[in-house]
Amino acid sequence: MVTLAQVARHAGVSPSTVSYVISGKRSISQDTRLRVERSIAELGYHPHAGARALASNRSHVIALVVPLRTDMFVPVMMEIAIAVTTTARRYAHDVLLLTSEEGPSAIKRIANSGLADAMILMDVELEDERIPLLRQTGTAAALIGLPADPAGLTCVDLDFEATGRLAADHLADLGHREVALIGPAESVYRRHTGFAERTLAGFRQQAGERGLRFLHRPCGDGHEAASGTLSRIFEERPGITGLVVQNEAALPHLLGQLRQSGRAVPEDVSVVAICPDDVALHSAPRLTSVSVPAKEMGQRAVELVMALAAGHPAEELTLLTPALTIRESSGPGPR
């Protein structure tokens, strides 16, 4: 192991000088800076993370808590996790991966062990047990998703209410009069993860505003659930010509079933999906969709949490504006 002391000797300076060259916390003459940098490269020096953390009281690590049970669409979670990791590296930080399995005690453990300077939580529930701990330990933290009471917390999420409104508006603009919202599994609603309810609320509001008659149904992830949900919807409301789908896993099954049952998309029924762009593009027909900006959510969470850890104030609520991309799955409603 190469130590800072060895670098100092090699460069003919004192240890503190090397330290300051690395941290940039005081001005160094061009000359010594260069010598030190050359020594660092030559010896292949990397600061010892533990020693640094001990002396400076900052670990340069962000903890990321991912859900065990997977309400969220897994590829979205993964994209967020990767965005968090690559963004963190831009701040010279690393990411510690935690699962919600360990429960609220993980918060205490991380906060007290100095393992991480900040936390990002990905599976926030409306009434999350960990939130009081976060507040009380004063940990720099960002939540991806919204709890019931975000006061004093830093949260990032897609504006799902606006998403619901956007989808309703698009269908109304196209002249549809009867529509349905197909959401995630019922268990997701019961667990109060929030995003599904918020989409529903926005959709309901705008549907009302625009005089749309609408139905809402949760839907499981498999083929059977999808075809069951679909047939029940059309049985109950044969006049439905517009579908909004917030369930990536069910999407291919839903589309297959639609095709199977002789309903052409978009001629007979228009589909608006709430999903990542690549899912929309890999479907047939390519789906008109509101994209879930996973990458941006991860990036923003890191930026916010870095600001907090540096002692700067951070915005309380960052709601990303949804964008609807019109593709081939939505068309004019009944003439």
Partner DNA sequence: ATGAAAGCGCTAACAA
Partner DNA sequence: TTGTTAGCGCTTTCAT
Contacts to its own copies by CB under 8 A: 1-2, 44-54, 59, 61, 64, 66, 68, 70, 74-75, 77-78, 81-82, 85-86, 89, 94-99, 101-102, 108-109, 112-115, 221-224, 227, 249, 252-253, 255-256, 259-260, 281-284
Distances in whole angstroms, Cα of residue 195 to Cα of each of 97, 125, 177, 201: 23, 10, 25, 10
309: partner contacted, choices its own copies, DNA, none (Cβ within 5-8 A by kind): none
16: partner contacted, choices its own copies, DNA, none (Cβ within 5-8 A by kind): DNA
Q: If binding is defined by CB under 7 A, does position 22 make contact with DNA?
A: yes
Q: If binding is defined by CB under 7 A, does position 310 make contact with DNA?
A: no
Residue from 31, 68, 92, 138 touching DNA (CB under 7 A): that is 31
27: partner contacted, choices its own copies, DNA, none (Cβ within 5-8 A by kind): DNA
> Which of 101/186 has CB closer to its own copies?
101
5: partner contacted, choices DNA, its own copies, none (Cβ within 5-8 A by kind): DNA
Q: If binding is defined by CB under 7 A, does position 42 make contact with DNA?
A: no
108: partner contacted, choices DNA, its own copies, none (Cβ within 5-8 A by kind): its own copies
Q: Which amino acid is it at 26? A: R
Instruction: Give Cβ neighbours of residue 208 (< 8 Å, ≥ 6 apart).
Output: none
261: partner contacted, choices DNA, its own copies, none (Cβ within 5-8 A by kind): none
Could you tell me how many residues of this chain bind DNA (CB under 7 A)?
Answer: 31
Q: If binding is defined by CB under 7 A, does position 47 make contact with DNA?
A: yes
> Which of 132/239 has CB closer to its own copies?
132
Q: C-beta of 218: minimal distance to its own copies in Å? A: 16
Q: If binding is defined by CB under 7 A, does position 32 make contact with DNA?
A: yes
Q: C-beta of 44: minimal distance to DNA in Å? A: 12
Q: C-beta of 243: minimal distance to DNA in Å? A: 56
Q: C-beta of 190: minimal distance to its own copies in Å? A: 20
Instruction: Round to whole Å and give the CA distance between 141 and 118.
Output: 6
Q: Report the relative pairing of strands 317-320 and 154-158 from DSSP bridges.
A: parallel
Q: C-beta of 153: minimal distance to its own copies in Å? A: 23
Q: Which two tokens stand for residue 311?
A: 């002692």
15: partner contacted, choices DNA, its own copies, none (Cβ within 5-8 A by kind): DNA
What residues numbered 50-89 form the site for DNA, per CB under 7 A?
51-52, 54-57
Q: Convert the chain into a string of H (helix), E (strand) and C (coil).
A: CCCHHHHHHHHCCCHHHHHHHHHCCCCCCHHHHHHHHHHHHHHCCCCCHHHHHHHHCCCCEEEEEECCCCCCCHHHHHHHHHHHHHHHHHCCCEEEEEEHHHCCHHHHHHHHHCCCCEEEECCCCCCCCHHHHHHHHCCEEEEECCCCCCCCCEEEEECHHHHHHHHHHHHHHCCCCEEEEECCCHHHHHCCCCHHHHHHHHHHHHHHHCCCEEEEECCCCCHHHHHHHHHHHHHHCCCCCEEEECCCCCHHHHHHHHHHCCCCCCCCCEEEEECCHHHHHCCCCCCEEECCCHHHHHHHHHHHHHHHHCCCCCCCEEEECCCEECCCCCCCCCC
- Which residues of the shown chain bind DNA in the complex (CB under 7 A)? 1, 3-5, 12-17, 19-20, 22-23, 25-29, 31-33, 45, 47-48, 51-52, 54-57
